[in-house]
Chains A and B, each alone.
Chain A
Amino acid sequence: MPPTRPEPADAPPLLRMEGITKRFAGATALDGVHFELRRGEVHALVGENGAGKSTLVKIMTGAYHRDAGHVWLDGRPVAFDTPADAQAAGVTAVHQEIHLLGHRTVAENISLGREPRRWGMIDWRRMYEEGARVLAGLGLDIDPRAPVASLSTARRQMVAIARGVSLGAKVLVLDEPTSSLAEREVAILFGLIRRLQAGGTAIVYISHRFDELWAVCDRVTVLRDGKLVGTHEIAALERIDLVCLMLGKSREALQHGATAFHTRHAARGRPEGEPLLRAEDLRRAPRLRDVTLEVREGEILGLAGLLGSGRTETARALFGADPADGGSIHLRGRPLDPRHPADAIAARIAYLSEDRKAEGIIPELSIRENLTLAALSTLTRFGVVSRARQRELVDRYMRRLGIKATSAEQRIRELSGGNQQKVLLARWLCTDPVLLILDEPTRGIDIGAKGEIQTLVNELAAGGLGVLMISSEVEELVEGSSRVVVLRDGRSVAELAGEEISARAIVHAMAAESPDAGAAAPAPMET
């Protein structure tokens, strides 16, 4: 159902951002981005990881300062110093992790920071009355005296929105508002959004869920690698168009020029290896719904999907980091139920995590200490870590992977991203794994190191290692994988092998309408 039409396109925009640029430690997070928000519209902001969505929103809401560019609100130039400034001017963000005081009541949270006072004391009666009025105005049936912690996630989100509204928000930023909501709760949220929209509030809507974009948004702005790709009326776009915009491919190239990707892949044409790992119907609430895949010895199985499709969740379930609630895993025909990473490591599974900084490096420790961390038990004799064997291992891998550092004793946080990644890869290689799970192995590292890592992974697979490679770069999957499994909304929806693997096929499977629509039935399993 098309929501209430926002005001006509020629009316002056409520919020205009022009040439917004933001750099962090030399890296450009946003590069000359333009963004316009009309009164009463719901405007989707989409892009893959690193596109700059969060940075743009943080500049919009005063959490970051822009390095260049201009912002106008209601035609007046503004520069917010703090989120409080932005709120006072009518720009409020409701974040993924909701910022509310759990032990205080709904009304206290709504009025926090500007409590009604009487003779210097908080006027509790008026506070509850005002809270009740705001909630009623939004059609919300929530007790203003209930502690926020007693509410469901969805209701907490409503309270956060009510707080924004009571602050006089003209612009409301909703950052992944449905990520932890059940379907019924999503409907309630959409009702609230329409009500706000009808009242003239403009909403910036960030979500990875395509269904929602078409259900609730009027326009969409796509960012990629910190640059503006474009702003479109969402009704004029097909899903495949939006995926193409996000990934930076033209639809024509997908349809005609796909052969360019069919290049020399070492693994293709190699005789098929023995089945190594088979996962069936993997489930883990809420993101992982039904994933089935098989990795063979000596192959690189690509795992494709948009952000939020369950790629990392699949890897973490296989590795026991966030164990599956349901489904089965077999390694070389024997059932495996990793409840902890140590279980998976004992079964010789290795997992190079997606977020190098948060889940990879131990920043204060040296290259040597980081590199040998997962293999320490094999280097220990009589309770002491053998210096000599450690040295031998570290030297070998530093040479083989071309790790550039002043010495093995240099602290890992002083290395470049590419070299950190090589150390982490070496950490796993020295555990002598049979299955290597790579989660975005080349993200955020320079071109040179990227090529080196890709070559190395190919060599490892040629040597008989099974590799499961997650990547949001379609080319990497097309060129690197012998087979590709595509995930959508936590389900494995397609499997492509050999000549079927093309950017077009992958993107189509990622973007298809809905899991049970049948439009993109899973490709038959190979014989």
Chain B
Amino acid sequence: MSEHAGIDTAPPPSLPRAARDGRIARWRHLGPTYGATAALVVLVVANAIFTPHFATASNLWNVLLQVSEVLLVGLGMTLVIATEGIDLSVGSVMAVAGAVGAVLLPHGVALAALAALAAALVVGLLNGALVAWVRVQPIVVTLATLIAARGLAQVISHGGELVTIDDPAFLALGRGHLGPVPAPAVVALAAAVATVLVVRMTPFGRYLLSTGGNRAAARLAGVPVTRTLITAYAACAVMAGLAGLIQAARLGASDGAKIGLNMELDAIAAVVVGGTAFYGGRATILGTVVGALIMQVIATSFNMLLIPYAWSLALKAAIILGAVYLQRPARA
């Protein structure tokens, strides 16, 4: 029973807060992404001044190489979070893809890569189906697939042993360069551009944001809500699979127990810092790119300054909390 159907604004907790919300609503909408971009600029400039050898071309390529896997996973994660969901299984999906790719490599690079991505897709479809059809909470579904896929990856790689990779074409995916640009960075950048275009220009992009923004309304407007959810999880898993292949190629081996470990946390952090809100209905791909770069610049510069790793974690945590704080009141 909606007693307040006649009132356009939902009853806020108190009036002063409502007034304040209205005044800075616009600023807040832009806040997270703009704030993150500003933070990135400050970080880069400060490092350029204070960190020896930071502002060099080789370091730039290094940062981009390091960030590419988190970025790939973060792009898919952005889509899933925009639906008001989350995907914890991405790290394990990377491991599955790496393992499948490494094991099938004797049958040819193309087949191995395709099979790896197909394996990732299957996990993604499973996630999506459980979320959309069975209506299990995303965090529970993907926690289960996180565990299962990690185990599966070790089974595939012959019971958990290290499968070394020596195919030069495959290794190029992780170690090659296009001009001065590392191959993984090229892949990640291309994926980012493609994701931006999909979100902004295709019906799927609109369906994604509608499903996350107001699922009941989307359904009544004829949006294929189920298909949209499944597609988001599937896309997320495929991008994670790609990241898994890159990591295996970069390391020159597939380790079912290690590849992609804790990647879900870094990816979620990049998305959140970039300004995509956990309550769904918004996706800022550019923000995710910026968020991933912030995290990477902090890690790299602390490393170069020989500051203990633990301190960089503390700073990362502060940045995540700051980003979440900026998003906090956006919904009345």
Which stretch from B85-93, B188-196, B198-206, B231-239 is at the chain A interface? B198-206
Interface residues of B, CB < 8 Å — how many?
37
Given A359-B217, A362-B210, A364-B281, does the pair A373, B5 have CB atoms closer than 8 Å?
no
Partner of A53, one of B3, B12, B209, B217: B3
Q: Is A384 in contact with B201, judged by CB distance below 8 angstroms?
A: yes
In angstroms, Cα B163 to Cα A155, docked, is 61
Across the interface, which residues of A come within 8 angstroms of B9, CB to CB?
24-25, 27
Report if B179 contacts A (CB, 8 A): no
In angstroms, Cα B225 to Cα A321, docked, is 13
Q: Is B218 in contact with A362, judged by CB distance below 8 angstroms?
A: yes
Across the interface, which residues of A come within 8 angstroms of B8, CB to CB?
25, 27, 356-357, 416-417, 420, 444
* B1-12 interface code vs A (CB 8 A; 1 in, 0 out): 111111111111
Tell me, rounded to whole Å, the shortest Cβ–Cβ distance linking A465 to chain B: 18
Report if A152 contacts B (CB, 8 A): no
Across the interface, which residues of B come within 8 angstroms of A176, CB to CB?
1
Q: Is B223 in contact with A384, judged by CB distance below 8 angstroms?
A: no
Nearest A residue to B201 by beta-carbon distance? A384
Tell me, rounded to whole Å, the shortest Cβ–Cβ distance linking B226 to chain A: 9
Across the interface, which residues of B come within 8 angstroms of A354, CB to CB?
5
Q: Is B3 in contact with A51, judged by CB distance below 8 angstroms?
A: yes
Across the interface, which residues of A come within 8 angstroms of B3, CB to CB?
29, 49-55
Report if A374 contacts B (CB, 8 A): yes
Across the interface, which residues of A come within 8 angstroms of B281, CB to CB?
362-365
Which stretch from A261-269, A290-298, A375-383 is at the chain B interface? A375-383
Report if B55 contacts A (CB, 8 A): no
* A346-389 interface code vs B (CB 8 A; 1 in, 0 out): 00000101111111111111000100111011001001110000
Across the interface, which residues of B come within 8 angstroms of A23, CB to CB?
15
Report if B219 contacts A (CB, 8 A): yes
Report if B18 contacts A (CB, 8 A): yes
Q: Is B202 in contact with A384, judged by CB distance below 8 angstroms?
A: yes
Report if B221 contacts A (CB, 8 A): yes
Partner of B203, one of A27, A29, A345, A376: A376
Q: Is A374 in contact with B221, judged by CB distance below 8 angstroms?
A: yes
In angstroms, Cα B205 to Cα A384, docked, is 10
Given A24-B4, A342-B222, A444-B6, does the pair A365, B217 have CB atoms closer than 8 Å?
no
Report if B216 contacts A (CB, 8 A): yes
Report if A34 contacts B (CB, 8 A): no
Report if A341 contacts B (CB, 8 A): yes
Tell me, rounded to whole Å, the shortest Cβ–Cβ distance linking A372 to chain B: 8
Q: Is B217 in contact with A321, judged by CB distance below 8 angstroms?
A: no
In angstroms, Cα B15 to Cα A365, docked, is 25
Report if A96 contacts B (CB, 8 A): yes
Q: Is B10 in contact with A357, judged by CB distance below 8 angstroms?
A: yes
Report if A278 contacts B (CB, 8 A): no
Report if A339 contacts B (CB, 8 A): no
Given A341-B219, A369-B209, A444-B7, does the pair A377, B203 have CB atoms closer than 8 Å?
yes
In angstroms, Cα B331 to Cα A443, docked, is 24
Main secondary structure of the interface of A (DSSP, over half): mixed
Given A342-B224, A358-B217, A364-B281, does the pair A27, B7 have CB atoms closer than 8 Å?
yes
Report if A427 contacts B (CB, 8 A): yes
Partner of B5, one of A50, A384, A411: A50
Across the interface, which residues of B come within 8 angstroms of A364, CB to CB?
209, 213, 281-282
* A492-504 interface code vs B (CB 8 A; 1 in, 0 out): 0000000000000
* B67-99 interface code vs A (CB 8 A; 1 in, 0 out): 000000000000000000000000000000000
Main secondary structure of the interface of B (DSSP, over half): loop
Segment 387-431 of A: residues with Cβ below 8 Å from B: 411, 414, 416-417, 420, 427
Report if B220 contacts A (CB, 8 A): yes
Q: Is B216 in contact with A359, judged by CB distance below 8 angstroms?
A: yes
Q: Is A355 in contact with B5, judged by CB distance below 8 angstroms?
A: yes
Q: Is A383 in contact with B202, judged by CB distance below 8 angstroms?
A: yes
Across the interface, which residues of A come within 8 angstroms of B6, CB to CB?
27, 49-50, 443-444
Partner of B7, one of A24, A96, A360, A384: A24
In angstroms, Cα B4 to Cα A52, docked, is 8
Across the interface, which residues of B come within 8 angstroms of A365, CB to CB?
206, 209-210, 213, 281
Q: Is A358 in contact with B213, judged by CB distance below 8 angstroms?
A: no
Across the interface, which residues of B come within 8 angstroms of A27, CB to CB?
4, 6-9
Partner of A360, one of B10, B203, B217: B217
Partner of B220, one of A353, A372, A416, A444: A353
Across the interface, which residues of B come within 8 angstroms of A341, CB to CB?
219-222
Q: Is B222 in contact with A29, judged by CB distance below 8 angstroms?
A: no
Segment 1-32 of B: residues with Cβ below 8 Å from A: 1-12, 15, 18, 25, 29
Tell me, rounded to whole Å, the shortest Cβ–Cβ distance linking A493 to chain B: 23
In angstroms, Cα B282 to Cα A24, docked, is 27
Segment 433-463 of A: residues with Cβ below 8 Å from B: 440, 443-444
Report if B214 contacts A (CB, 8 A): yes
Nearest A residue to B15 by beta-carbon distance? A25
In angstroms, Cα B218 to Cα A332, docked, is 27
Across the interface, which residues of B come within 8 angstroms of A307, CB to CB?
1
Instruction: Specify which of B1, B202, B222 lies most central, judged by the most chain A CB atoms within 10 Å of its CB.
Output: B222
Q: Is A361 in contact with B209, judged by CB distance below 8 angstroms?
A: no
Partner of B202, one of A356, A374, A385: A385
Across the interface, which residues of A come within 8 angstroms of B219, CB to CB?
321, 341
Given A27-B7, A55-B3, A444-B7, does the pair A376, B206 have CB atoms closer than 8 Å?
yes
* A315-333 interface code vs B (CB 8 A; 1 in, 0 out): 0000101000000000000
In angstroms, Cα B10 to Cα A417, docked, is 12
Tell me, rounded to whole Å, the shortest Cβ–Cβ distance linking B310 to chain A: 38
Instruction: Specify which of B5, B29, B221 lies most central, judged by the most chain A CB atoms within 10 Å of its CB.
Output: B221
* B131-144 interface code vs A (CB 8 A; 1 in, 0 out): 00000000000000
In angstroms, Cα B201 to Cα A380, docked, is 9
In angstroms, Cα B1 to Cα A51, docked, is 11
Q: Is B209 in contact with A374, judged by CB distance below 8 angstroms?
A: no
Show the binding face of A for B, using Cβ within 8 Å.
23-25, 27, 29, 49-55, 96, 176, 307, 319, 321, 341-342, 345, 351, 353-365, 369, 372-374, 376-377, 380, 383-385, 411, 414, 416-417, 420, 427, 440, 443-444
What 7 new A-B contacts, CB under 8 Å, besides A176-B1, A443-B6?
A24-B4, A24-B10, A29-B4, A341-B221, A364-B282, A369-B210, A373-B221
A-B contact pairs, 22 of them (CB 8 A): A25-B8, A27-B6, A27-B8, A27-B9, A49-B1, A50-B3, A341-B220, A341-B221, A341-B222, A342-B224, A357-B10, A358-B216, A361-B217, A365-B210, A369-B206, A383-B203, A385-B201, A385-B206, A417-B8, A427-B221, A443-B5, A443-B6
Show the binding face of B for A, using Cβ within 8 Å.
1-12, 15, 18, 25, 29, 201-203, 206-207, 209-210, 213-214, 216-224, 281-282, 331
Q: Which 3 pairs show the lowest CB-CB distances between chains A and B? A: A444-B6, A417-B8, A54-B3
